[in-house]
């Protein structure tokens, strides 16, 4: 069997004489070795191309989610202004944002260009997963791990995300890989370059995300274990495996490794500690309010489900499909004890230290979110590959294939097939099923604004999602209200009142959130004080158009009816979904809803919560339909009205299907629900005139042709 690990050294150690018999034999061996190397290179190229195709597929099909938009908007700042913000506004180190700033300066701010940065760093992970898997568990496990990493839905999701998590995983993996290779090489030629590369990638990871400190912890603990307890060969080790950390306690080689390690750690500390000192006082008090504490069972369930299948499979199905991965993982844990101490410690610490550490910290300070643990995703793929390899390699060890070895291979093949199929199912949902889109369709929403907006319009968003700001950069002005959470109701109402006075029309994009405007204060205020004339769903989003008092007071039919000395009905607007009054007459049909909007004005404080009544009467005064409720569908009682404010009060009055054809009219008034006593309608002299006001519009009900009247 040809040892491909030695291929790269052939030209150094072989002196070729084309005229000698020995040389001809050497040429034959070189050709064989190069052929194997070419095949390996071609196989890796095909795997990388497949991973690349999955990562660029529909790369810009989905709109940016809020965190992506924030990253792009944040990276637009000059680099000098960005650093102070990273300590106070965006609690992340600067490397990713600086890279994104330069990247988008060259390639633009579009979704494809911005996400392509994550694609590139994600692609680099595939050969590194192979190399680390081969170093720790053998070549076959390396190939399986690279295959699983190439199709992993969680890694692909983040490779199409304008955030730092793919870069974090890539740099963390590179750091662990060079660390492992440097230990394997010991004091041999070329080890210095590995240590230099290790320092560069480790510092890079630390400047991408603070959870990269777990990378340092992985490597420090691993080195400490290997330094204090030199290795043994595991049951599965062969002489073809890369050299182990083969140094004796107190030997020159051990002292050399210790010096290298101390120097690299010192350099890393010198390069990173200044940043920690700069941001430390801000980061110590930083919390993630949206992260909830998680129990051990829930933690494990989420870990296996997300790192195996992503988040785009229904939970009931994911619970079943994930067992293929769990079985392979448990077999990988069994395979871990068959490796040499060096490899077992490196791989085990790589996966278990960050995972256990984050869960333990979460017991006291909730910090667990699957993306924060992305640094262990490569190790998880290697564990799965190690477990599958235990089953699939039975064929190689037993050419005669006993029933037991054949069953092992069949089970391993079925597990691998199920894992590949499940990953494909998850990716199909992610790419093609709207319910699993990573973000709402902000582009369609903004396109609707552009089609229906008018000069002077303003958009109000009741949640600070940067995606809307990103897509509206060259469009309508945008205001986020409330300005903070928890909201200040007085300040928010004053801000809305000011906007309503300055604009004819206001668009609202309501976005429910338990963390921001949880009670819908903004929408409620607009419903009470502005006239909602249009509402539309755009995918999972919705938008509403409101006319402000300067606009709706011009469109209403004035009536100026005073009820007592407390409230005035300034006017009204009447229509159906398909018609408006013509010359004061609204023609409609039975079973149609009349859309009545009343505009009240508070004249004095009220101690009684009055009920509004709206009655539909025929020419003989018979009642055919009515709506009685406190104003604004019961959400704004008169006891809360402020003197001088105008309240918009809407009613849907359905004409009964058995209502006869003819002329109808609407009367409106108010009464005390506890006593039934109505507020008197006063004339201009302040004298009692009636207990209700007759609206001037006349309603004519006609039957459609072909129906009996």
Question: Is beta strand 593-602 parallel, antiparallel or unpaired with respect to 478-480?
Answer: unpaired
454 or 289, greater pLDDT: 454
The per-residue pLDDT for 147 is 97
The Cα-based distances of 226 to 197, 240, 254, 680 in angstroms read 21, 21, 10, 92
**288: confidence class by pLDDT, cuts 50, 70, 90:** low
* Residue 686 φ/ψ region, left for φ over 0, alpha for ψ in the -120 to 50 degree band, beta for the rest: left
pTM assigned to the model = 0.84
183 or 637, greater pLDDT: 637
Model confidence pLDDT, tens digit, residues 331-354: 999 999 888 888 999 999 999 999
Model confidence pLDDT, tens digit, residues 657-693: 999 999 999 999 999 999 999 999 998 888 888 999 9
Alpha-helical (H) ranges within 284-339 are: 296-309, 315-336
366 or 336, greater pLDDT: 336
* Residue 79 φ/ψ region, left for φ over 0, alpha for ψ in the -120 to 50 degree band, beta for the rest: alpha
Question: Is beta strand 567-575 parallel, antiparallel or unpaired with respect to 693-694?
Answer: unpaired
CB 354 within 8 A of CB 328: no
pLDDT mean over 594-617: 94
Model confidence pLDDT, tens digit, residues 434-473: 999 999 999 999 999 999 989 999 999 999 999 999 999 8
pLDDT mean over 272-281: 86
Q: Which CATH superfamily is domain 556-701 in?
A: abc- transporter (atp binding component) like domain (2.70.50.60)
Does the pLDDT of residue 708 top 50, yes or no?
no
335 CB-near residues (< 8 Å, 6+ apart): 137, 236, 386, 387, 389, 390
The per-residue pLDDT for 30 is 54
CB 165 within 8 A of CB 100: no
pLDDT mean over 325-334: 95
270 CB-near residues (< 8 Å, 6+ apart): none
Question: Is beta strand 458-461 parallel, antiparallel or unpaired with respect to 478-480?
Answer: parallel
- For residue 108, the SS3 value is coil
Q: 161-175, 349-363, 450-464 — which one is most confidently predicted on average?
A: 161-175
**Angle 415-420-424 from CA coordinates, rounded to 5°:** 145
- For residue 564, the SS3 value is coil
691 or 84, greater pLDDT: 691
Give me the half-sphere count of Cα atoms (radius 13 Å) on the Cβ side of residue 87: 13
The per-residue pLDDT for 5 is 39
Model confidence pLDDT, tens digit, residues 557-577: 999 999 988 899 999 999 887
User: What is the Cα–Cα distance from 478 to 448, expressed in whole angstroms?
Assistant: 15
Neighbour-count burial for 623-657, b at 16+ CB within 10 Å, e otherwise: ebbebeebbbeeebebeebeeeebbbbbbebebee
The per-residue pLDDT for 709 is 43
pLDDT mean over 375-381: 97
292 or 160, greater pLDDT: 160
- Domain-wise residue ranges, the chain: 57-71+93-435, 442-550, 556-701
Model confidence pLDDT, tens digit, residues 15-52: 334 444 444 444 556 566 557 677 888 889 999 999 99
User: What is the Cα–Cα distance from 325 to 115, expressed in whole angstroms?
Assistant: 29
Question: Is beta strand 681-682 parallel, antiparallel or unpaired with respect to 557-563?
Answer: antiparallel
């Amino acid at each position: 069997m040809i040892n491909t690990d030695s291929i790269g050294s052939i030209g150094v150690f072989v002196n070729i004489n084309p005229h000698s018999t020995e040389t001809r034999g050497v040429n034959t061996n070189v050709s064989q070795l190069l052929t194997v190397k070419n095949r390996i290179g071609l196989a890796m190229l095909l795997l990388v191309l497949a991973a690349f195709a999955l990562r660029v597929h529909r790369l810009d099909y989905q709109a940016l989610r809020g965190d992506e938009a924030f990253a792009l908007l944040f990276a637009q700042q000059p680099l000098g202004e960005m650093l102070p913000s990273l300590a106070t506004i965006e609690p992340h180190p600067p490397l990713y944002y600086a890279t994104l700033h330069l990247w988008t300066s060259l390639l633009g701010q579009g979704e494809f260009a911005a996400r392509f940065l994550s694609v590139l760093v994600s692609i680099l992970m595939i050969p590194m997963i192979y190399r680390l898997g081969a170093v720790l568990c053998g070549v076959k496990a390396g190939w399986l791990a690279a295959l699983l990493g190439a199709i992993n839905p969680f890694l692909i999701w983040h490779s199409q995300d304008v955030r730092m998590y793919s870069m974090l995983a890539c740099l963390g993996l590179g750091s662990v890989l060079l660390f492992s290779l440097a230990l394997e090489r010991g004091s041999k030629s070329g080890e210095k370059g590995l240590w230099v590369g290790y320092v560069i990638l480790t510092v890079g990871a630390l400047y991408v995300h603070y959870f990269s400190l777990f990378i340092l912890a992985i490597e420090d603990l691993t080195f400490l274990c290997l330094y204090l307890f030199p290795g043994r060969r595991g049951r599965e080790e062969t002489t073809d495996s890369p050299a182990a950390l083969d140094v004796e306690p107190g030997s020159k080689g051990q002292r050399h490794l210790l010096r290298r390690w101390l120097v690299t750690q010192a350099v890393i500390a010198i390069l990173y500690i200044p940043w920690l000192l700069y941001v430390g006082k801000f980061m110590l008090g930083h919390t993630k309010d949206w992260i909830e504490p998680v129990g051990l069972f829930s933690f494990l369930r989420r870990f296996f489900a997300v790192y195996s299948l992503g988040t785009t499979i229904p939970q009931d199905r994911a619970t079943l499909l994930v067992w293929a991965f769990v079985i392979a993982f448990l077999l990988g844990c069994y395979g871990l004890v068959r490796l040499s101490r060096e490899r077992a410690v490196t791989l085990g610490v790589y996966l278990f230290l960050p995972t256990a550490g984050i869960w333990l910290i979460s017991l006291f300070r909730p910090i667990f979110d699957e993306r924060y643990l992305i640094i262990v995703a490569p190790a998880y793929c290697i564990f799965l590959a190690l477990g599958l390899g235990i089953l699939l390699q039975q064929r190689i060890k037993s050419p005669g294939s006993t029933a037991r070895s054949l069953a092992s291979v069949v089970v391993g093949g079925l597990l691998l097939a199920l894992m590949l199929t499940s990953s494909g199912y998850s990716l199909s949902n992610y790419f093609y099923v709207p319910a699993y889109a990573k973000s709402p369709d902000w582009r369609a929403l903004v396109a609707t604004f552009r089609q229906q907006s008018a000069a002077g319009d303003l958009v109000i968003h009741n949640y600070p999602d940067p995606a809307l700001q990103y897509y509206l950069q060259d469009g309508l002005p945008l205001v986020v209200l409330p300005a903070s959470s928890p909201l200040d109701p007085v300040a928010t109402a004053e801000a809305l009142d000011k906007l309503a006075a300055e604009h004819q029309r206001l668009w609202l994009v309501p976005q429910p959130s338990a963390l921001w405007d949880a009670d819908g204060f903004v929408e409620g205020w607009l419903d009470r004080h502005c006239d909602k004339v249009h509402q539309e769903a755009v995918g999972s989003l919705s938008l509403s158009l409101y006319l402000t008092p300067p606009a709706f007071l011009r469109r209403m039919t004035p009536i100026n009816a005073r009820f007592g000395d407390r409230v005035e009905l300034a006017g009204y607007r009447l229509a159906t979904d398909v018609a408006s009054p013509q010359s004061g007459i609204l023609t409609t049909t039975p079973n149609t809803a009349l859309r009545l909007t009343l505009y009240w004005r508070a004249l004095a404080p009220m101690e009684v919560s009055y009920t509004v009544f709206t009655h539909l009467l025929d020419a003989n005064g018979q009642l055919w339909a009515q709506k009685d409720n406190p104003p604004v569908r019961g959400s704004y009682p008169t006891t809360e009205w402020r003197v001088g404010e105008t309240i918009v009060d809407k009613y849907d009055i359905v004409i009964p299907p058995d209502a006869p054809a003819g002329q109808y009219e609407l009367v409106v008034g108010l009464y005390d629900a506890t006593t039934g006593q109505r507020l008197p309608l006063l004339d201009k002299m302040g004298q009692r005139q009636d207990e209700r006001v007759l609206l001037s519009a006349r309603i004519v009900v006609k039957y459609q042709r072909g129906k009996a009247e």
